[in-house]
Amino acid sequence: MRTLIKLGGTLLDTPEVRDRLACEIARLAASGREVVVVHGGGRQMTQYLAERGVESQFVNGLRVTGPETLDAVVKVLAGSVNRELVAALVRAGARAVGLSGIDANMVEAEQMDPSLGAVGRVVSAHPELVDLLLANGYLPVVACVAGDRQGRMYNVNADQMAVACATGFGARQLLFLTDVDGVLDATGSVRPVLSLAESERLIADGVAKGGMRAKLDAAGRALRDGVREIRIAPGAQAGIIERLIAGESVGTVLQ
């Protein structure tokens, strides 16, 4: 069974949480399951840009990406954040390999909207490199940077990148590990189970907005494209991956 785990960037801010998640992921891979990791790094990006006097702007949870921001995306997301996560996984015993969608044209994208700059919409994901790595015992770790056949690079929302990789690489299970307890309804309560129609209603009513809206939009596409199990769960809780794999009711299941 192939599982794709999307790690929210806030979970990678501290070495302690990063190392704990790396150990859990390494154990899952060692159990014989095929595991692919896609990670964000939004907070690290915002800090990097702020230190250089660049204000971050967002539209519907998507970071407006001018030339200076795109340079930071490559340096931070595909650079330091990816390398630190790979190093943590290697320490935990996994044969982790750091990648971005640009490698081997693994994830192709096109410009989403000129007003957003170099923000990409994924148009295809090619599984050949991931298949090769998994077949030989490696653990792919993918940063959310994609490209096109003309060599242009794009900043891709990490949730959208995770969905594109999950569907393109044939994952049956998609785990969104984030910094919230799950999907919240209008009362602020976690919804343990959420249908596609209910998810769309939360978006339409403005309950799910910003990053959660982007996550639910992406999860909806994954459901339509045949990913069988999608969970949004609190990555900061110890043992979260084992608990999710065991079927424990934690966070939100989308169906």
Known active-site residue 42: yes
Which position among 8, 40, 41, 42 bears the catalytic label? Answer: 42
Which position among 9, 120, 182, 251 bears the catalytic label? Answer: 9
Give the C-alpha separation, 165 to 147, whole Å.
Answer: 14
Give the C-alpha separation, 177 to 237, whole Å.
Answer: 10
Token pair 């939004």 is at which residue? Answer: 42
DSSP E strands, 56-159: 58-59, 62-63, 96-100, 107-111, 120-125, 139-143, 145-147, 153-155
Known active-site residue 209: no
Known active-site residue 6: yes
Output the six-digit token pair for 97.
Answer: 């390999």
Known active-site residue 159: yes
Which position among 98, 101, 147, 215 bears the catalytic label? Answer: 215
Output the six-digit token pair for 81.
Answer: 């954040």
Buried residues in 81-114 as b, exposed as e (16+ CB within 10 A): bbebbbebbbebebebbbbbbbbebbbbbeebee
Which position among 6, 168, 217, 251 bears the catalytic label? Answer: 6
Backbone dihedral angles phi then psi of residue 68, each to the nearest 5 degrees: -70, -35
Give the C-alpha separation, 192 to 181, whole Å.
Answer: 10
Give the C-alpha separation, 243 to 233, whole Å.
Answer: 10
Which position among 8, 117, 159, 251 bears the catalytic label? Answer: 159
Among residues 64, 29, 17, the alpha carbon closest in space to that of 237 is found at 17
For residues 45 and 57, the answer to whether their CB atoms sit within 8 Å is no
Give the C-alpha separation, 16 to 19, whole Å.
Answer: 5
Known active-site residue 9: yes
Catalytically annotated residues:
6, 9, 42, 159, 215
